């Protein structure tokens, strides 16, 4: 079950990198003719992609921990303790 989680996390990371490259490469190719404030939209789009990738990975980890708890593979949900 852990291998499936790792494959899904890997797929999310690959998807995020491809989406970032789709934004950054055209911007870098037109950088010579771009206006001064044109990079702000690109930075915000990249930030949004990274943020959603982190959220999806977090949800995947929590879902797989709950499934393993339900099927009693992992012995319970292993959340970090707060002291």
79, part of any domain: no
Helix axes 39-70, 2-29, angle to 10 degrees: 170
Other CB atoms within 10 A of residue 79 CB: 8
CB 67 within 8 A of CB 22: no
20, part of any domain: yes
66, part of any domain: yes
Counting the structural domains of the chain, the total is: 1
Q: Which of 63, 23, 57, 15 is nearest to 40 (CA)?
A: 23
51, part of any domain: yes
58, part of any domain: yes
Q: 49: domain range? A: 2-27+37-70
DSSP-H helix ranges across 1-83: 2-29, 39-70
User: What would the pLDDT profile of 20-55 be if each residue is shown by its tens digit?
Assistant: 888 887 777 676 665 555 666 777 788 888 888 898
78, part of any domain: no
76, part of any domain: no
User: What would the pLDDT profile of 50-69 be if each residue is shown by its tens digit?
Assistant: 888 898 989 988 888 888 77
């Amino acid at each position: 079950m852990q291998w499936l989680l790792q494959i899904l996390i890997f797929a999310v990371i690959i998807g995020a990198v491809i989406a970032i490259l789709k934004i950054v490469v055209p911007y870098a190719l037109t950088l010579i003719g771009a206006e001064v404030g044109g990079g702000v939209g690109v930075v915000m789009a990249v930030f949004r992609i990274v943020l959603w990738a982190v959220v999806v990975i977090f949800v995947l980890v929590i879902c797989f921990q709950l499934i393993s708890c339900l099927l009693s593979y992992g012995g319970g949900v292993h959340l970090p303790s707060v002291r």
